[in-house]
């Protein structure tokens, strides 16, 4: 049976959110620690070169980016949903805002507290992959701090009516992503209670979800597991997309990150891109990306 495997590292904010997603859904999973900086050859054996964290693996299906991961988790275990009513799928819009527009202000706030504690290899990696040049990033920290504070006021306002979670009575994707931001900035000694008792109580409720039942695996175990399984996620190239199944394509994230993944197009719709690739170690794998935020090109 295909195992659910999360490739992550402890300090990754997005890894934090996906660990909570697995806990929320009650999925038993395997934990594989990934390096903080590139290169990540064991991860690339599965993804084809994508090295951002986290990555979800289900047997020989590999899901890149939390947008794609959350969709895969919904299909794997529909209940409890990451998009509870009455907010429903609108919760993904909030999660996208928190993970994009609010993330860099949080990064500046968190990392700017003590930038000299970070090794040069970290800054070199983040400059190459995210455009975080220390020479321009550090002077922008006062602005980023102000932007984080503005976003935190949005969160406080959303919780001001006494609701337990963003959607109401049940937690979802929006809560998990907002939580990861508030957890990240604690590196700068900023506590949820700094934005009021309701934010602090909400934070504790989300934290109480926990990470569920998991077992530590090595990267080698994950690679062998992919090799011993066959991809099972349904894939189809939808009509009207301007692409055909079987085309050789490349995928690159819309960012300075130079990493490009190549393979055979097997699935494409408004939400997801799927390619098939063969790896000497992992064997035949299907790698899935969100449609939004990825550049799809012919090879």
Tens of pLDDT, residue by residue over 200-218, are 999 999 999 999 999 999 9
The single residue listed with the structure tokens 């907010």 is: 87
pLDDT band at 118 (very low <50, low <70, confident <90, very high): confident
Q: How far apart are the first and last CA of the chain?
A: 34
* pLDDT value at residue 147: 98
Residue 265: pLDDT above 90? yes
* pLDDT value at residue 179: 98
pLDDT band at 3 (very low <50, low <70, confident <90, very high): very high
Question: What value does the mean pLDDT take over residues 241-250?
Answer: 97
Query: What is the C-alpha separation between 51 and 56, in angstroms, rounded?
Result: 12
Residue 252: pLDDT above 90? yes
Query: What is the C-alpha separation between 273 and 287, in angstroms, rounded?
Result: 8
pLDDT band at 169 (very low <50, low <70, confident <90, very high): very high
Q: Give the residue among 143, 92, 91, 140 at the shortest CA–CA distance from 115.
A: 140
Question: What value does the mean pLDDT take over residues 36-40?
Answer: 95
Q: What are phi and psi of 7, to 5 degrees?
A: -95, 120
Class (C level, CATH) for 90-207 = mainly alpha
Question: What value does the mean pLDDT take over residues 150-165?
Answer: 98
The CA-based dihedral angle spanning residues 56, 59, 62, 68, taken in that order and rounded to the nearest 10 degrees: -60
pTM: 0.97
* pLDDT value at residue 249: 98
In this prediction, what percent of the chain has a pLDDT beyond 70?
100
In the DSSP assignment, the letter for residue 185 is G
């Amino acid at each position: 049976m295909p195992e659910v495997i999360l490739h992550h590292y402890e300090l990754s904010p997005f890894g934090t959110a996906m660990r909570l997603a697995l806990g929320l859904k009650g999925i038993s999973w395997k934990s594989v620690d990934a390096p903080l900086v590139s290169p990540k050859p064991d991860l690339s054996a599965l993804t084809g070169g994508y090295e951002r964290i986290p990555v979800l693996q289900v047997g020989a299906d590999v899901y890149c980016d939390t947008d794609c991961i959350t969709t895969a988790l919904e299909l794997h275990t529909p209940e409890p949903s990451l998009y509870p009513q009455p907010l429903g799928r609108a919760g993904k819009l909030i999660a996208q805002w928190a993970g994009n527009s609010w993330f860099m202000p949080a990064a500046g706030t968190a990392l700017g507290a003590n930038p000299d504690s970070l090794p040069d290899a970290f800054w070199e990696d983040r400059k190459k992959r995210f455009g975080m040049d220390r020479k321009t990033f550090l002077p922008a920290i006062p602005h980023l701090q102000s932007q984080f504070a503005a976003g935190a006021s949005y969160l406080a306002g959303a919780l001001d009516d006494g609701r337990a979670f963003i959607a109401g009575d049940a937690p979802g994707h929006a809560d998990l992503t907002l939580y990861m931001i508030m957890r990240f900035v604690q590196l700068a000694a900023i506590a949820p209670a700094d934005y009021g008792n309701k934010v602090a109580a909400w934070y504790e409720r989300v934290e109480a979800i926990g990470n569920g039942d998991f077992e530590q695996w090595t990267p080698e175990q994950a690679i062998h597991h992919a090799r011993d399984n066959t991809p099972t996620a349904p894939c189809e190239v939808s009509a009207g997309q301007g692409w055909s199944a079987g085309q050789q394509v490349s995928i690159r994230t819309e960012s300075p990150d130079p990493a490009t993944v190549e393979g055979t197009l097997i699935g494409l719709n408004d939400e997801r891109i799927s390619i098939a690739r063969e790896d000497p170690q992992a064997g035949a794998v299907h790698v899935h990306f969100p449609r939004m935020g990825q550049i799809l090109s012919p090879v």
